[in-house]
Amino acid sequence: MTDSPSNSEAFFKPPMGGEGTGASMRLTDREIVRRIQSGEMGAFDLLIERHKGRVYAVIYNMVGNHEDAADLSQDVFMRAFKAIGGYRSEANFYTWLYRIAINTTLNFLKTRKESHLSLNEWDKGLGEEPAFRELESLESVGSQVDRGELQEKLNEALQKLSEEHRAVVVLHDIEGMRHQEIAKALGCSEATARSRLFYAHQRLQALLAKYL
Amino acid sequence: MNCQQARFYFSELASHSLSDTEEAVIRGHLASCAECRVGLGRVQKLRGLLALKRHEQPSAFFHNTFLEEFHRRMYAEVAHARTPTLWQRIASFFDWNLPASLLKGGALATAAALLIMLGVSMHIDSISSNLSASREYVTHSSRSSTHLSKPKALGDFTIATHPHTVYALERVAQVSSAYANNVLTF
């Protein structure tokens, strides 16, 4: 499936042929993909709504820049839309989508000439996190955690990792993926993913010693 | 299991993603190794710290406009795709609805035929120019045996004097440059 006009035009039809949103939201990714592959292109909207947050988060944590992450997220869904005809359901849809996201991001990072952090705001849930409360008990941090500084240090530390190591940290420690899924998303072996994570952790422990 | 092997699994142990058997082996090692217990504690703290990044969220604007922006980009791409390239315009002129392989072969065969035509045309021109030169020579010879004009050389041929050849050459050049630029889409 490519960007042929007929397919793209179908995309602009209302999703799921007028079915209610509730019924649509109960569909699994595979069922939605099956509908898309049978010509109901509007169903792709559901996949976007379902996965845009996580795709964005992966890219944002890789590039450390909100504007680039938003732009690359669009590219990822555009590529996924064009390639979805060739998707086979042996892999989870989100693993397949993450693979596109990671490849798109790695290609972008290779060509990026200069980088600067452009960070999102912390949400209200941060103060509730046990890990955040624990920070306040650390002598090196003090009872009033400087949230801005913490955010900057975290992001700077991540950016100091190699792209391959950063990808494993983002997928495992932030996105909560298992090594088996990470290996599929990155196109490497589980042992490689495990090894990269180990060395990335060692480096991060050194860079974030103040907070540990 | 030694310390080095065990440390590769600390992160998975902390995220409870090991199988029961694997977890039992690692915990067995931890029970007898104080250094690895400290190492596991550090990994757990680091994971807690990194997990805070889940609380960095884009604005509501991002969520509200993402799909709309996707549709806008898709529309722009479709509009761009509808602007025919030079080759698409040429191909639409010969819109025979043939398979891509046949079209490609046809284009190459056409280019080859045009080149042959060009070669034949050049050959005929050279013969005719030689003939006319010979006639001229004969005429001059009959009029005056002292002033002989030179026969027209083969190299005097210029494609500019043959509009059909110019057209053919341009066509071939367009096709080959389109191949070079990967413009052709079969």
User: What is the pLDDT, as a whole number, of residue A23?
Assistant: 62
Q: Are A208 and A157 in contact (CB under 8 A)?
A: yes
Rounding to the nearest 10 degrees, give the CA dihedral for residues A194, A59, A3, A187. -10
Does the interface predicted TM-score (ipTM) exceed 0.85?
Answer: no
User: What is the pLDDT, as a whole number, of residue B179?
Assistant: 44
Reference B159, options B172, B147, B149; nearest CA is B172
Has residue A39 got a pLDDT over 70? yes
Of A8-12, A113-117, B9-13, which one has max mean pLDDT?
B9-13
Is A130–B48 a contact, with Cβ atoms under 8 angstroms apart? Answer: yes
User: What is the pLDDT, as a whole number, of residue A12?
Assistant: 37
Reference A47, options A36, A61, A59; nearest CA is A36
Is A172–B77 a contact, with Cβ atoms under 8 angstroms apart? Answer: no
- Tell me what percent of the residues of chain A surpass a pLDDT of 70: 88
User: What is the pLDDT, as a whole number, of residue B158?
Assistant: 44
B62 to chain A, any CB pair closer than 8 A? The answer is: yes
Has residue A114 got a pLDDT over 70? yes
Has residue A113 got a pLDDT over 80? no
Low-confidence ranges of chain B (pLDDT < 70): 82, 91-99, 131-186
User: What is the pLDDT, as a whole number, of residue B82?
Assistant: 67
DSSP conformational letter for B152: P
What's the pLDDT tens digit per position in B81-116?
Answer: 767 777 777 766 666 666 677 777 888 888 899 999
| pTM for this predicted structure | 0.68
A61 to chain B, any CB pair closer than 8 A? The answer is: yes
Instruction: Compare CB distances from A173 to B51, B66, B75 and report the shortest one's residue.
Output: B51
Is B70–A78 a contact, with Cβ atoms under 8 angstroms apart? Answer: yes
| Average pLDDT, integer, range A173-185 | 92
Q: Are A145 and A132 in contact (CB under 8 A)?
A: yes
Q: Bigger pLDDT: B78 or A14?
A: B78
